[in-house]
Amino acid sequence: MYNLLNFDKYLFEKNQIKKNKIGKIIIIFGPPGSGKGTLSKKISKETGILHVSTGNLLRSSKEPKIQQLMSSGKLVPDKYIIKEIKKIFKNKDLSKGIIIDGFPRTISQSKKLDSMLGKMGLGLSYSIYLKIEKDEAIKRILKRDEGRKDDESKEIIEERFKEYNIKTLPLVEYYNKSRKTIILNGMESIEKNYKKIIKKLL
Ligand code: ADP
């Protein structure tokens, strides 16, 4: 009996330690070209929060199926992303927190994230929705030069917006109902949006 109680205490403490080691868990979503990556990088640089871009992770994958889907503007199947996200939670130092840029991108991914975090005794701290008009976003994509194949043609950019509207946009309502969603205007300067976020996070 005594040992069992002690074992419970041990498990509890073990989980507490793990929890304390993880800072705020933040996700950021918005249409292609909304500035998710730029804003996340700034947050990470200023605060030490780890920035993870699922787009970047996938771009470095050697899996032909992933490359083919990405270069046609389609989302890649959940299993590839979930695997990467799990690896990050397992291996990276998240003591200062994590900002996940580009995931979840569908309601199904959001449920998978909740379930994964739930199993670790964790939960999402904030979701950030970066809102922007499509015309402005397209102008930005066409101007930037990151050597991305999926930025090269108007057809592929259109396909990304189609995917976004059908699969990602429903997340806005989904998160707004139940979570702390910070809605930002993507037309504002990075500096202004950064300040707004910091006020909420501190
Ligand atoms: P953007 O949002 O500007 O299109 P990203 O770098 O976030 O750029 O994503 C690029 C591509 O990576 C997407 O079009 C998609 O093919 C793939 N991708 C990134 N994150 C996910 C995700 N969570 N689920 C499915 N596909 C993803």
Q: 159-184 pLDDT, tens per residue?
A: 999 999 999 999 999 998 877 799 99
CA of 75 to the centre of ligand 1 (A): 6
Residue 52's SS3 state is strand
CA of 20 to the centre of ligand 1 (A): 31
Which residue has the least CA distance to atom 9 on ligand 1?
A: 55
Q: Is the CB of 157 under 6 A from ligand 1?
A: no
The answer, yes or no, to whether residue 17 has pLDDT greater than 50, is no
| pLDDT on residue 158 | 98
Nearest Cα neighbor of 84 from 114, 120, 52, 108 is: 52
Q: What is the mean pLDDT of residues 25-48?
A: 97
Contacts of 66 (CB under 8 A, 6+ apart): 58, 76, 80
* Beta pairing, strands 98-101 & 50-53: parallel
Looking at residue 188, the DSSP 8-state letter turns out to be S
CA of 120 to the centre of ligand 1 (A): 26
Nearest Cα neighbor of 54 from 77, 23, 24, 21 is: 77
Q: What angle do the packed helices 190-201 and 36-47 form, to 10 degrees?
A: 50
| pLDDT on residue 111 | 96
Longest dimension (CA), the chain: 68
CA distance 87 to 100: 13
Which residue has the least CA distance to atom 1 on ligand 1?
A: 32
The answer, yes or no, to whether residue 12 has pLDDT greater than 90, is no
Q: What is the pTM (predicted TM-score) of this model?
A: 0.90
CA distance 106 to 83: 16
The residue among 11 and 41 whose pLDDT is bigger is: 41
CA of 9 to the centre of ligand 1 (A): 42
pLDDT band of 194, cuts 50, 70, 90? very high
The residue among 201 and 164 whose pLDDT is bigger is: 164
Model pLDDT for residues 134-154, shown as the tens digit of each residue: 999 999 999 999 999 999 999
Model pLDDT for residues 48-102, shown as the tens digit of each residue: 999 999 999 999 999 999 999 999 999 999 999 999 999 999 999 999 999 999 9
